[in-house]
Copies of this chain bind each other. A is one copy, B any other.
Amino acid sequence: MTLIEKARQGQLTEVMKQVADSEGLEVEVIRAGLAAGTIVIPANKHHRQLRPRGIGAGLSTKINANIGISEDYCSIETELKKLGVAVKNGADAVMDLSTGEQIKETRREIIKNSTVAVGTVPIYQATVEILQSGRAIVDMTRDDLFNTIIEQAEDGVDFVTVHCGLLRAGLEHLKKEGRVSGLVSRGGSFLAGWMGYNQRENPLYQHYDYLLEIAREYELTLSLGDGLRPGCLADATDRGQIHELLVLGELVERARAAGVQTMVEGPGHLPFNQITTNISLAKELCKGAPFYVLGPLVSDITPGYDHITAAIGGTLAATAGADFLCYVTPAEHLGLPTVEDVKEGVIAAKIAAHAADLATGNQRAIDRDRAMARARKNLDWEQQFNLAIDPEKARRFRREHNPRERDVCTMCGQYCALKIAEAVTDDD
């Protein structure tokens, strides 16, 4: 039996209890959400070090950090450093998006060292191996693709992005309407190339039942990818994107019927005023499945600062119902992130997740901010550092910006409002 099936039968498993504890909720809430499909717990049977976390309705907003080697940078050691920095700073999951040499070794090391769920996009490996074997992407067979998924599931991958909803009809919509940026999903572009050349439907859609069988076997969570996601604001919420969402809604229901956990992925690049509509539509069409967004980025012109642009979009998305935010780093659109970029990206995403949790009434989040406000009022610097999202940076900034040890800071010095106001508001 899969986790969903156990939940439906009313079983309260160890995994459900761990997730309930980590959220400060009753285990029944977790069980009911799993049974309904509004909560997922990505947890492959073979991922031994995992401390499972839940993603979905009623839970705190979770964040994911993408790591992984590329052709130009392939040091497993560096990727493990990124993993460490990501988890230390609050990532709830990582995705290994490796495309270079040593894909398998990198993945296995990441899974072995990760206490958080690990996701992948299996078509990357399938594509790299096809090219390594001297064949073209368009020659990929069903078995090339599904055997890679099985291999990765066997390794302990907890969730996989699979672009099952990208159909020829969706590509037709895209061509008819026209786009500024075309396709920007890597997995989507591989599949679209394959489909166009072979004049056949997407194998991940055609053999979806086989995919569900594999997922059942390993308790692999499917993250239904959005191959037609917009790559710029001008392309947002177009017919291609929404067509794919219709298909994803169907696939969510088929997965639930098969007892397989499913999330749905969303944009991408969206103007701020289209975010709430996109999230509401996705939640409605996909029957409340946990929604996983990349950003969304609310402008295209911010290379070097896309972590900020994504945090803006992510806060509104999570407030409007998105459950899982994929980070964006300052290196987005420019190159593979460094360890430092990973840290910046994770913290920006964490701020978005936390701000949304405050907005939607998560009591733990509210209590933490209230404790910080008290520490600030009391000019208790140690406590402020302890409660800060990044104690190290806060400590370093205070040290570097203040020439003398004092209870106030250099911004106002003796003109500190908090000190002056004490006299006004406290004594009568």
Contact = CB atoms under 8 A, between A and B. Distances in A.
A1 interface: no
Interface string A288-330: 0000000000111111110111011001100100000000001
Given A181-B376, A369-B299, A360 B273 contact: yes
Contacts of A393: 303-305
A222 to B, nearest CB: 21
A100 B428 CA distance: 31
Interface in A181-195: 181-186, 188-190, 192-193
A350 B352 CA distance: 18
Interface residues of A, number: 112
Contacts of A368: 301
B334 A397 contact: yes
A182 B376 contact: no
Contacts of A359: 271-273, 298
B303 A394 contact: yes
Given A272-B358, A403-B72, A369 B411 contact: no
Nearest to A360: B273
Contacts of A423: 193, 196
Contacts of A372: 232, 300-301
A169 interface: no
Contacts of A338: 401
A12 interface: no
Contacts of A234: 366, 369-370, 373
A333 interface: yes
Given A234-B370, A424-B196, A184 B418 contact: yes
A312 B311 contact: yes
A190 to B, nearest CB: 7
A394 to B, nearest CB: 4
Contacts of A261: none
Nearest to A356: B272
Nearest to A401: B335
Given A271-B359, A347-B305, A420-B189, A425 B182 contact: yes
Contacts of A331: 397, 401, 411
A308 B348 contact: yes
A60 to B, nearest CB: 14
A233 interface: yes
A391 to B, nearest CB: 9
Contact of A299 (B137, B351, B384, B424): B351
A414 interface: yes
A411 B376 contact: no
Interface string A12-36: 0000000000000000000000000
A127 interface: yes
A340 to B, nearest CB: 11
Nearest to A374: B180
Interface of A: 70-73, 99-100, 124, 127-128, 137, 171, 174-175, 179-186, 188-190, 192-193, 196, 231-235, 271-273, 298-305, 307-309, 311-312, 315-316, 319, 330-338, 347-348, 351-352, 354-356, 358-360, 366, 368-370, 372-374, 376-377, 384, 387-390, 393-394, 396-398, 400-404, 409-418, 420-426, 428
17 contacts: A72-B404, A100-B413, A137-B420, A182-B418, A183-B421, A184-B418, A189-B420, A193-B420, A196-B424, A196-B428, A298-B359, A300-B372, A303-B393, A307-B308, A309-B351, A334-B402, A335-B398
Given A70-B412, A193-B424, 6 more contacts: A192-B425, A232-B370, A233-B373, A273-B359, A298-B359, A305-B348
